[in-house]
């Protein structure tokens, strides 16, 4: 009996030594349920979770920075929250240095229904000369990604304070494109054309 007990004790010690020590975890926030784009976050929408440090994505936020913010994309239940999923400057994460988020008001507000965040568009300006004759359309920016549209809850978060967001979209533009796009809606009518993804 004593030999059997010693053998069991030795086996238990061996298993304990071979079992890896659990990694430390860090707190994060995840979607408590499927959430649509445009939703303004409330406490019931999020759940506190603990994940290994290596699984914590960059741009993770605490609850104080999440409450009342608007989702720019839809989330699945259990998906971790970061600033790149919220309406605001975090949407520029991964963009080239110097990229800017530029709000644009489309001449045809209904056309916003055709575009969603992540799609690439060409932005075109149509204007008239002094006599009222239409001039040739001019390409202002090619294949810029859409960050936000006015269909996503009708709020522009940290970009615009006004509630008048009808026909608005926000695109990511490089410095040259941003200069051409800034104030372009005062020079004529803005339209967009959907384009395919750029090669890797």
The CATH number given to whatever domain includes residue 81 is 3.90.1210.10
Rounded to 5°, the CA angle 70-85-45 comes to: 55
For residue 161, name the pLDDT band (cuts at 50, 70, 90): very low
Q: State what percent of residues in the chain have pLDDT above 90.
A: 32
Burial classification of residue 151, based on how many CB atoms lie within 10 Å of its CB (0-12 exposed, 13-18 middle, 19 or more buried): middle
Is there a domain that residue 118 lies in? yes
Rounded Cα gap, residues 133 and 127, in angstroms: 9
More confident residue, 163 or 1: 1
Rounded Cα gap, residues 64 and 171, in angstroms: 27
Is there a domain that residue 79 lies in? yes
Q: At which of 62, 86, 110 does a domain end?
A: 86
Q: Which SS3 state, helix, strand or coil, does residue 61 take?
A: coil
171 shares its domain with 110: yes
Is there a domain that residue 53 lies in? yes
Tally of structural domains, the chain: 2
Mean pLDDT over 55-74 rounds to: 84
Backbone Cα Rg of the chain:
25
H-state helical runs in 28-153: 63-66
Task: Please provide residue 24's backbone torsions phi and psi, each rounded to the nearest 5 degrees.
Answer: -65, 155
Two tokens, residue 165: 């967001």
The per-residue pLDDT for range 85-140, each reduced to its tens digit, is: 887 777 888 888 889 989 899 999 999 989 988 899 999 999 866 655 667 789 99
Residue-level pLDDT at 198: 60
Residue-level pLDDT at 21: 47
């Amino acid at each position: 009996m004593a030999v059997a007990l010693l053998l069991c004790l030795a086996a238990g010690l061996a298993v304990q030594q071979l079992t890896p020590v659990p990694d430390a975890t860090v707190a994060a926030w995840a979607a408590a349920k499927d959430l649509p784009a445009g939703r303004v976050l409330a406490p019931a929408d999020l759940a506190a979770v603990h994940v290994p440090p290596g699984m914590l994505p960059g741009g993770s936020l605490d609850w104080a920075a999440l409450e009342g913010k608007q989702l720019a994309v839809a989330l699945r239940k259990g998906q971790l929250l970061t600033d790149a999923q919220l309406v605001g400057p975090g949407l520029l994460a991964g963009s080239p240095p110097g990229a800017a988020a530029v709000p644009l008001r489309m001449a045809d507000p209904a056309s916003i229904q055709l575009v969603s965040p992540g799609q690439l568009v060409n932005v075109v300006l149509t204007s008239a000369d002094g006599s009222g004759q239409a001039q040739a359309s001019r390409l202002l920016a090619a294949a810029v990604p859409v960050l936000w549209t006015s269909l996503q809850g009708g709020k522009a978060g940290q970009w615009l304070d006004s509630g008048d967001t009808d026909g608005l979209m926000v695109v990511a533009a490089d410095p040259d494109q941003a200069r051409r796009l800034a104030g372009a809606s005062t020079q004529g009518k803005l339209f967009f054309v959907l384009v395919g993804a750029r090669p890797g």
